[in-house]
């Protein structure tokens, strides 16, 4: 195999040799690679090797072999240092600067062993070129994984992290300008100065996500260090949360299956090649959970629910699961139904992890414990803004119950515990619970009436709307005892609603036309106050108020119609009186019949009428009895008229 030549060095197999007429007198082994070199070039530049040779007192020996353990950057970085010792020109780049910096410190290549030694040159390049350029900072940080402990000891890692954190708050179009990091180069108005010239550009706050993509190539440990550094420097939590969410979505594909995918456009400042870090998903998720700030928001809550779903799949530790459930519970009112539908990955037969949802509800109640102390709830509490989260969670859980109720493996005890975990004051209407139970009964037709009655005990029939009562009263899946209770409350609701509306209408119309005293009006309004409040709680006062005007119009029409009927009745009474007076003077019934427009009936017609009358339905006298006595004379007159017309 022909030796590979490279700037005076050649490689034979796994060994490196320097092309010189003098034989090699020192062999250095780095990561299993042998370097056959010469003592004096190394001793003149490397303090560590010089000390090693002096201690061994083998300067005049023909050969010397040593092994460098845990060398920063490995064999490639040592080759860089060896070339520098032999006076071969080397090139500093953002990808090798940190490893070269650490290797120069490891070998002791200070100015004590030569002017402008490797350590001073690396330090100068690092501070002048790398720390003021976004691209170089990102590349330098990504390449420092192999020498992280020494880079931390030399504080160069923290300097890079600080520089990146500073540039996150800066306009990315200014990266690479020959200026300080905006320490004193600002005008009194806040504009950025370049060589004393006002550029007009402003230092931007962290309002964009252009840096998310670049830092997503870091390893988990380095990414964690960067986020903590940014947090210490005061970057707003929502932007840190955005970076963490972007990083998690990139390395946890399960999040993208049910959440909105990140933008296909790479949000990066510089077009440079980065190698994605190899991460362990379980370790990543456990670290991501620790980095998440304490914040609330619909998108953030949805992200937490996605993390919880992936965590259940990956089997993370229980501490991480508990923390995610607690975070979700603190903002459960912002969760969505599809987010709560977490599949069950345990040995349970159910489709969804209902135990997890129940624990989340308990965390919510513990965070909202101040609201659960009011029992029974007052109207002021129900209408207060602080009570709104509890109402939202109640509606969410009712929809969740309706969704999981179709699972044939869901036990009755579990659906009851989920329904009863929230306090009674959280639901102003129980229509959602009734809907969930109806779906459950339909999916579980084998349940006995006793089991159904036990489940129906979670419903307060007094909190069912009129529509729900109407549906339940005709629901064949409900036990008979439950239907009877529903019918009772349905009639009660209708009676209360009608009485309350009529009392309010009378109170409103009394001052204009009825002449009722103000004290009486106030008494009527006060008497119906409690009923009105119940109507508000059950069906909503807004709907009733809107229907008041329609009811007023209907009442006026009804009054006018009743007046017309009374006039007609009065006319009929007058006619009946005339009939009574002239009854004895009439010679034939036909005259009376002709007077009222009736035709005389033949005998055959009379007999046919008798037959039909005998076979027809029997009139219900009990239905006529409750009417007022003022119409009794009217009925008698009608009977007399009927006798006169049919008597012949």
> What confidence category does residue 646 fall into, taking pLDDT thresholds of 50, 70 and 90?
very low
CB 122 within 8 A of CB 92: yes
Residues 573-583 have a mean pLDDT of 79
> What confidence category does residue 229 fall into, taking pLDDT thresholds of 50, 70 and 90?
very high
Cα 39 from Cα 26, distance rounded (Å): 6
pLDDT score at 60: 54
Cα 537 from Cα 539, distance rounded (Å): 6
> What confidence category does residue 145 fall into, taking pLDDT thresholds of 50, 70 and 90?
confident
> What confidence category does residue 550 fall into, taking pLDDT thresholds of 50, 70 and 90?
low
Question: Coil, helix or strand for 414?
Answer: helix
* Residue 343: strand pairing partners: 352
pLDDT score at 198: 55
pLDDT score at 445: 92
CA atoms within a 13 Å half-sphere pointing along the CA-CB vector of 89: 0
Q: Does residue 561 register a pLDDT over 60?
A: yes
Cα 343 from Cα 349, distance rounded (Å): 11
Choose between 173 and 74: higher pLDDT.
Answer: 74
* Residue 331: strand pairing partners: none
> What confidence category does residue 576 fall into, taking pLDDT thresholds of 50, 70 and 90?
confident
Domain limits, the chain: 8-169
Q: Does residue 501 register a pLDDT over 60?
A: yes
Cα 286 from Cα 319, distance rounded (Å): 9
Out of 116-125, 248-257, 500-509, the most confident range is: 116-125
Task: Report which secondary-structure segment, H or E, holds 65.
Answer: strand 65-67
> What confidence category does residue 508 fall into, taking pLDDT thresholds of 50, 70 and 90?
low
Q: Encode pLDDT of 253-288 as tens digits.
A: 877 655 554 444 445 544 455 666 677 888 999 999
Question: Residue 608, Cβ neighbours under 10 Å: how many?
Answer: 12
Q: Encode pLDDT of 346-367 as tens digits.
A: 777 889 999 999 999 999 999 8
Please state the pTM of the whole predicted model.
0.66
Of 634, 525, 505, the C-alpha closest to 577 is 634
Q: Encode pLDDT of 14-29 as tens digits.
A: 888 888 778 888 899 9
Q: Does residue 402 register a pLDDT over 60?
A: yes
Choose between 544 and 33: higher pLDDT.
Answer: 33
Task: Report which secondary-structure segment, H or E, holds 194.
Answer: strand 191-194
Question: Residue 411, Cβ neighbours under 10 Å: how many?
Answer: 13
Residue matched to tokens 């029992």: 375
Residue matched to tokens 């960067």: 226
Residue partners of 524: CB distance under 8 A and separation at least 6: 503, 506, 507, 510
Cα 129 from Cα 220, distance rounded (Å): 26
Handedness of CA 68, 69, 72, 73 (dihedral sign): positive
Choose between 431 and 177: higher pLDDT.
Answer: 431
> What confidence category does residue 7 fall into, taking pLDDT thresholds of 50, 70 and 90?
low
Angstrom distances, CA of residue 321 to CA of 29, 152, 318, 326, 422 = 47, 32, 5, 9, 22
> What confidence category does residue 592 fall into, taking pLDDT thresholds of 50, 70 and 90?
very low
Out of 151-165, 453-467, 566-580, the most confident range is: 151-165
Residue partners of 300: CB distance under 8 A and separation at least 6: 241, 245, 331
What does 386-436 look like in DSSP terms, one character per residue? GGHHHHHHHHHHHHHHHHHTT-TT--HHHHHHHHHSS-GGG-S--HHHHHH
Cα 416 from Cα 187, distance rounded (Å): 67
Residue partners of 105: CB distance under 8 A and separation at least 6: 72, 119, 150, 154
Q: Encode pLDDT of 404-457 as tens digits.
A: 999 999 999 999 999 999 988 888 899 999 999 999 999 999 999 999 999 999
CATH number of 8-169: 3.30.710.10
For 260, the token pair is 């909105």
Angstrom distances, CA of residue 152 to CA of 101, 238, 376, 433, 461 = 12, 28, 61, 59, 68
CB 172 within 8 A of CB 214: no
* Residue 26: strand pairing partners: 37
Question: Residue 7, Cβ neighbours under 10 Å: how many?
Answer: 13
pLDDT score at 545: 44
pLDDT score at 625: 40
Residues 596-606 have a mean pLDDT of 44
Q: Encode pLDDT of 368-382 as tens digits.
A: 754 443 334 443 444
Among 255-264, 293-302, 324-333, 437-446, the range scoring the smallest mean pLDDT is 255-264
Among 208-212, 241-245, 527-531, 578-582, the range scoring the smallest mean pLDDT is 527-531
Out of 206-210, 432-436, 493-497, 599-603, the most confident range is: 432-436
pLDDT score at 521: 42
pLDDT score at 222: 92
Q: Encode pLDDT of 98-121 as tens digits.
A: 999 999 999 999 988 888 899 999
Whole-angstrom Cα Rg for the chain: 46
């Amino acid at each position: 195999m022909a030796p590979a030549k490279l700037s005076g060095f050649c490689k034979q197999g796994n060994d490196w040799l320097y092309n010189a007429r003098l034989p090699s007198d020192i062999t250095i082994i780095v990561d299993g690679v042998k370097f056959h070199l010469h003592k004096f070039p190394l001793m003149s530049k490397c303090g560590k090797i010089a000390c090693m040779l002096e201690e061994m007192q083998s300067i005049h020996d023909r050969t010397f072999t040593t092994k460098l353990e845990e060398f920063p950057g490995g064999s490639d970085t040592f080759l860089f240092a060896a070339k520098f010792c032999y006076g071969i020109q080397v090139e500093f780049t953002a990808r090798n600067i940190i490893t070269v910096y650490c290797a120069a410190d490891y070998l002791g290549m200070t100015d004590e062993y030569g002017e402008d030694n490797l350590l001073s040159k690396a330090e100068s390049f690092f501070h002048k070129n790398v720390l003021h350029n976004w691209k170089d900072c990102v590349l330098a940080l990504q390449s420092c994984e192999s020498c992280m402990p020494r880079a931390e000891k030399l504080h160069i890692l923290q300097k890079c992290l600080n520089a990146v954190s500073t540039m996150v708050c800066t306009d990315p179009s200014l990266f690479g300008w020959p200026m300080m990091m905006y320490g004193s180069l600002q005008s009194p108005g806040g504009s950025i100065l370049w060589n004393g010239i006002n550029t007009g550009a402003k230092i931007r706050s962290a309002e964009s996500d252009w840096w998310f993509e670049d830092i997503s190539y870091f390893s988990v440990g380095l990414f964690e260090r960067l986020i903590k550094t940014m947090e210490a420097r005061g970057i707003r939590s929502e932007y840190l949360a955005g970076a963490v969410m972007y990083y998690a979505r990139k390395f946890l594909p399960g999040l993208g299956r049910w959440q909105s995918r990140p933008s296909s456009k790479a949000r990066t400042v510089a077009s440079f090649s980065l190698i994605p870090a190899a991460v362990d998903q379980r370790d990543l998720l456990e670290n991501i959970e620790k980095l998440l700030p304490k914040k609330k928001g619909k998108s953030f809550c949805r992200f937490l629910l996605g993390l919880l779903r992936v965590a259940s799949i990956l089997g993370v530790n229980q501490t991480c699961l508990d923390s995610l459930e607690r975070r979700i519970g603190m903002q459960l009112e912002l969760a969505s139904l599809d987010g709560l539908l977490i599949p069950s990955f345990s040995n349970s037969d159910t489709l969804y992890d209902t135990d997890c949802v129940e624990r989340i509800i308990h965390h919510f109640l513990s965070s909202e414990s101040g609201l659960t102390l009011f029992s029974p709830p007052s109207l002021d509490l129900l209408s207060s803004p602080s009570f709104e989260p509890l109402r939202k969670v109640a509606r969410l859980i009712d929809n969740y119950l309706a969704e999981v109720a179709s699972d044939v493996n869901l036990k009755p005890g579990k659906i009851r515990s989920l329904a009863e975990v929230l306090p009674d004051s959280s639901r102003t209407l129980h229509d959602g619970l009734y809907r969930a139970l109806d779906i459950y009964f339909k999916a579980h037709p084998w349940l006995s009436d006793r089991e159904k009655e036990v489940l129906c005990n979670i419903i307060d029939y007094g909190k069912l709307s009129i529509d729900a009562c109407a549906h339940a009263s005709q629901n064949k899946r409900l036990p008979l005892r439950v239907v009877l209770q529903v019918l009772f409350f349905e009639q009660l609701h209708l009676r209360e609603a009608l009485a309350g509306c009529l009392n309010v209408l009378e109170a409103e119309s009394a001052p204009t036309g009825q002449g009722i005293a103000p004290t009486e009006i106030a008494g009527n309004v006060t008497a119906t106050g409690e009923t009105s409040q119940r109507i508000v709680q059950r069906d909503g006062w807004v709907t009733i108020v809107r229907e008041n005007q329609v009811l007023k119009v209907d009442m006026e029409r009804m009054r006018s119609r009743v007046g017309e009927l009374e006039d007609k009745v009065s006319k009929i009474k007058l006619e009946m009186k005339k009939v009574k007076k002239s009854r004895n003077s009439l010679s034939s019934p036909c005259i009376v019949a002709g007077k009222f427009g009736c035709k005389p009936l033949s005998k055959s017609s009379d007999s046919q009428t008798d037959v039909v009358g005998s076979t027809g339905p029997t009139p219900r006298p009990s239905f006529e009895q409750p009417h007022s006595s003022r119409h009794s004379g009217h009925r008698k007159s009608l009977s007399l008229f009927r006798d006169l017309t049919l008597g012949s």
